Structure 1
Amino acid sequence: MNRGFRGEIITTAASRELAKLVMLDAAGLQEEEAERQARRHARHGHNKEELTGPLYTTLDALNSLDHFGRTATYGEAIALGKGVQATFSDAGHILGSASVLLELEEEGRKRRVLFSGDLGYQGRAILRDPNPPSDVDVVVMETTYGDRLHKSLRPSVEELYEAINSTFAAGGNVIIPTFALERAQEILYYLREGIKAGSLSGSIQVFLDSPMAISATEIFRRHPECYDKDACELFSEGHDPFNFPGLHFVRQTSESMALNRLGGGAVIMAGSGMCTGGRVRHHLKHHLWRKDSSIVFVGFAARGTLARLIVDGAKEIRLFGEEIPVRANIHTIGGFSAHADRDELLAWHRRTGSPARTFLVHGEQDTMESFAAQLSNTEVIMPGLHEEYSL
């Protein structure tokens, strides 16, 4: 908005709510970081001109909400202008995610252009499977995991249960660094399923120590129109797929600090997923050195993050000015990815029909080239920045 955008933002109802949550949270974090930088500069006598302010502020985020207009419903076309209409279809990635089909007409010529957005995979919990339209002329699709296959989900769930049970048997706590959107809700779902099936104790105590994840979970509850059949049946039978007797929502900082007094027998889910900030860093400080505790990573850990250092076997890490030895059990469970893998991407592409051209985007160059070699009966293009193509 600061760069002049004055148009209409069209999105699904769930995405609208999640966007508001994420933008306001990110703005607040940026403002806090700007204030910390200002204090550091003042202490060292640096010029204010050297400071970089937040990318956007809370006021900017609030002002942007005024541009959210029509709400998209899956499968219903929206007119955008003369000869242009858009239809959203479920991308199965996160709540409210969508692929967008543009139906274009100019001087009697028609084109159906499909933008994949981030794609989920078939058979995951809570959300429906991706559902692309067919008979598409042009596809623009992501290739994030276009060169690899994910570990199967069911063994990953069983591995999570085993990590929890073995840690409790040793007398420790389980710390799960958690992404607030999707991953937190998915883990809650499987914890509930584990209790129901007897794979986990019915008296298990789980603490969701992330105000943002708590708010996101409340948003999930308001949008069952995005759920798959199993999750819908739970709701229709009066069951909440994100709740069970031993679940506690931790909003206040004082409540979060009190968790560090728990000797054992607790699962603490806290952000951020890559341990770059948030409350999880405090829990790591109190548990990494404990041989009876476990740290369970259920998401991607990028290079250079604290999560990646721990996953790669660091013997000691620095937190809050202290050197903390890593003695806890470290579990890396890779089957919970929200992204489609190579085979799922290929299956999605086949369901679009026989597009004349396929543009590959959103992936490392090597990944795109590997995925391109798997495609047939379509012209594959890997566009560069600012390149233009006539449709």
Structure 2
Amino acid sequence: MNLTIHGAARQVTGSMHLLEVNGYKILIDCGLDYERDRSTIANENFPFRPEEIDVVILTHAHIDHSGNLPTLVRLGYAGQILCTAPTADLAEMLMMDSVNIFLRKMQGGNKRGKKRHHDSGGNQPLYLQKHVMDTAERFVTIGFNKPFRMTGDIELTFIPVGHLLGAAAAVLKINDNGKEKTIAFTGDIGRKNYPVLNDPQPLPQVDFLVTESTYGGRHHTKGKTVEEVLVETIDKACVKENGRLIIPAFSIGRTQSLVYSLNKIFSSGLLPPVKVFVDSPLAIRSTETFRKYHTLLNEESRDFYDREGDEFEFDNLTYVENINESRDISNYFEPCVIISSAGMLEGGRIQDHLFYNIQNYYCTILFIGYCAKGTLGFRLLRGDPIVHIRDRELAVYATIKQTDVLSAHGDHDDLMDVVRGQNKDKLKTVFLVHGDPQSMDALAAAIEDEDYAVSIPEKGITYTL
């Protein structure tokens, strides 16, 4: 069998791996590539013919793993997309949201007189709602830890890995010309003791492991829990200073974990009541999906539900439904917490809140996730004294803070635990994907130090396994 890494090779986004077994072509993930080129033409220029792919396996819903599926379908893919049920629901939401982002970018570019032709890689939408609907019709859902016979020679099992509701490692048991071979694709690996989500399950023993490396060489901050960090921050920003706390958060996954953590804090009386606004339509819709798959949440969350009720609902919490309600928040002068997307501040309602509060000395902005270079979030974390929002240059007077206690990615030790769980005598090669070169090099060095064979694939290079 042959393995070709077509995406997330020596970079983070655009996960896409092709496994060929006796002429049968399996595509594992099909994510948008946001790093090297965000243009339409870069993401629709597949290095293979979409109609020749036999089946797609989707590890989880995040857009850097799922976001180019509608393009694949638009260009001729006609097969099934295998994933868990929560992944199917969340991926459809995220892909629909991507359509809205594409359209806003196109409208913004046209307003500035920068309309370009589709084939120039400009502002034309990569896909439309119709293509997302066509893609959603191809989802075939499979439960965790339930072997699924794809062909007479290939069996797929999804293993829970935390990180996001429905996220799974894809483990394939393959009869390759009479010889049994096993390969696992981790997707993104979560961390232990994360709010709402279960811990990653150990993988079975495999011959080949394709694993993410996002936090290779990096460790999460130790010593403080999520609740301790939030209590400390809210107490200072909202209670002692009578100000407001703005938390940029990704709508799916991060917001639900944050709301649940705040629910525990306020229901336990660790802080006096403070108004909390969740201002993200996508967060509201995806929270319903978390409720729908309540039985897949972790034991602590389910126990909390039995004692206190809905994990994602509490006194003084308001889900902001429409844009008028969102604008009204600027006229709310009592201390409050505002949770809004997008997490890196690139678009979304969060920019409205920043516009009105970035020059407020009594405002704190708490980043709880990664901000890529070039984003507004990155510039604020870098300490830029002036930032550009809504065609205006604004001085930064608000307090800027950051914490990694809500990062949904496992760190270096978590990644190493996945590798250490494999028998050295059986595991032939670890392939590192989905990480920047520095992280990959650090993780590769640690893996080699423990006498495992490791490879950092170049994009498009085929390996015979």
Q: Same fold (TM over 0.5)?
A: yes
Partner amino acid for 2:341? Answer: G
Q: 1:2-151 maps to which residues of 2 (within 5 A)?
A: 2-41=74-113, 52-69=123-140, 71-151=141-221
Is the 8 Å Cα contact of residues 209 and 249 (structure 1) preserved in structure 2? Answer: yes
Partner residue in 2 for 1:175: 246
Deviation of 1:153 after TM superposition, in Å, equals 7.1
Of 356, 359, 381, which aligns to 2:428? Answer: 356
Is the 8 Å Cα contact of residues 156 and 333 (structure 1) preserved in structure 2? Answer: no
Partner residue in 1 for 2:456: 382
Partner residue in 1 for 2:290: 220
Is the 8 Å Cα contact of residues 116 and 124 (structure 2) preserved in structure 1? Answer: no
Closer/same/farther in 2, CA of residues 367 and 192 from structure 1, 3 Å limit: same
Closer/same/farther in 2, CA of residues 9 and 48 from structure 1, 3 Å limit: closer
Deviation of 1:334 after TM superposition, in Å, equals 2.0
Partner amino acid for 2:313? Answer: N
Supply the distance in 1 between the matched residues of 2:380 and 2:104 (Cα, whole angstroms): 27
Supply the distance in 2 between the matched residues of 1:38 and 1:290 (Cα, whole angstroms): 33
Is the 8 Å Cα contact of residues 113 and 137 (structure 1) preserved in structure 2? Answer: yes
Supply the distance in 2 between the matched residues of 1:270 and 1:139 (Cα, whole angstroms): 36
Partner residue in 2 for 1:197: 268
Q: Secondary structure at the match of 2:137?
A: helix
Supply the distance in 1 between the matched residues of 2:356 and 2:187 (Cα, whole angstroms): 39
Q: Secondary structure at the match of 2:182?
A: strand
Supply the distance in 2 between the matched residues of 1:197 and 1:216 (Cα, whole angstroms): 26
Is the 8 Å Cα contact of residues 288 and 327 (structure 1) preserved in structure 2? Answer: yes
Alpha carbon RMSD of aligned pairs, Å? Answer: 1.8
Is the 8 Å Cα contact of residues 184 and 209 (structure 2) preserved in structure 1? Answer: yes
* Per-residue CA distance 1:371-390 (angstroms, 9 max, x = gap): 11212242211111222222
Deviation of 1:192 after TM superposition, in Å, equals 0.9
Alignment of 1:207 onto 2:281: no
Deviation of 1:3 after TM superposition, in Å, equals 2.1
* Per-residue CA distance 1:149-193 (angstroms, 9 max, x = gap): 011373453232222111222221111111111111111111111
* Per-residue CA distance 1:199-230 (angstroms, 9 max, x = gap): 222x2210000001111111111112321111
Supply the distance in 2 between the matched residues of 1:379 and 1:361 (Cα, whole angstroms): 15
Partner residue in 1 for 2:442: 370
Supply the distance in 1 between the matched residues of 2:252 and 2:116 (Cα, whole angstroms): 39
Alignment of 1:338 onto 2:408: yes
Closer/same/farther in 2, CA of residues 237 and 166 from structure 1, 3 Å limit: closer
* Per-residue CA distance 1:55-85 (angstroms, 9 max, x = gap): 111111111112112x111100111112101
Closer/same/farther in 2, CA of residues 346 and 319 from structure 1, 3 Å limit: same
Q: Tell me whether 256-265 or 154-163 shows the greater mean CA deviation.
A: 154-163
Partner amino acid for 1:206? Answer: V
Of 245, 248, 252, which aligns to 2:315? Answer: 245
* Per-residue CA distance 1:229-269 (angstroms, 9 max, x = gap): 11122234462111111110102100000000011311111
Is the 8 Å Cα contact of residues 160 and 333 (structure 1) preserved in structure 2? Answer: no
Is the 8 Å Cα contact of residues 291 and 327 (structure 1) preserved in structure 2? Answer: yes
Q: Which runs of 5+ in 1 are unaligned?
A: none
Alignment of 1:322 onto 2:392: yes
Partner amino acid for 1:63? Answer: D
Is the 8 Å Cα contact of residues 99 and 132 (structure 1) preserved in structure 2? Answer: no
Q: Secondary structure at the match of 2:224?
A: helix
TM-score, normalization by structure 2:
0.79
Deviation of 1:286 after TM superposition, in Å, equals 1.2
Q: Secondary structure at the match of 1:154?
A: coil
Supply the distance in 2 between the matched residues of 1:150 and 1:47 (Cα, whole angstroms): 43
Q: Secondary structure at the match of 2:134?
A: helix
Closer/same/farther in 2, CA of residues 35 and 153 from structure 1, 3 Å limit: farther
Is the 8 Å Cα contact of residues 296 and 332 (structure 1) preserved in structure 2? Answer: yes
Q: Secondary structure at the match of 1:22?
A: helix
Partner amino acid for 2:181? Answer: R
Supply the distance in 2 between the matched residues of 1:371 and 1:321 (Cα, whole angstroms): 41
Is the 8 Å Cα contact of residues 153 and 335 (structure 1) preserved in structure 2? Answer: no
TM-score, normalization by structure 1:
0.94
Q: 1:283-294 maps to which residues of 2 (within 5 A)?
A: 283-294=353-364
Supply the distance in 2 between the matched residues of 1:52 and 1:309 (Cα, whole angstroms): 24
* Per-residue CA distance 1:23-66 (angstroms, 9 max, x = gap): 1111122123223333433xx8x776776411111111111112
Supply the distance in 2 between the matched residues of 1:258 and 1:220 (Cα, whole angstroms): 28
Partner residue in 1 for 2:338: 268
Is the 8 Å Cα contact of residues 38 and 48 (structure 1) preserved in structure 2? Answer: no
Q: Secondary structure at the match of 1:373?
A: helix
Q: Secondary structure at the match of 1:206?
A: strand
Partner residue in 1 for 2:328: 258
Q: Secondary structure at the match of 1:99?
A: strand
Partner amino acid for 2:328? Answer: A
Partner amino acid for 1:197? Answer: S
Q: Percent identity at matched positions?
A: 30
Q: Secondary structure at the match of 2:446?
A: coil
* Per-residue CA distance 1:117-161 (angstroms, 9 max, x = gap): 100011111111111332211111111101110113734532322
Deviation of 1:12 after TM superposition, in Å, equals 0.5
Is the 8 Å Cα contact of residues 162 and 168 (structure 2) preserved in structure 1? Answer: yes
Q: Secondary structure at the match of 2:74?
A: coil
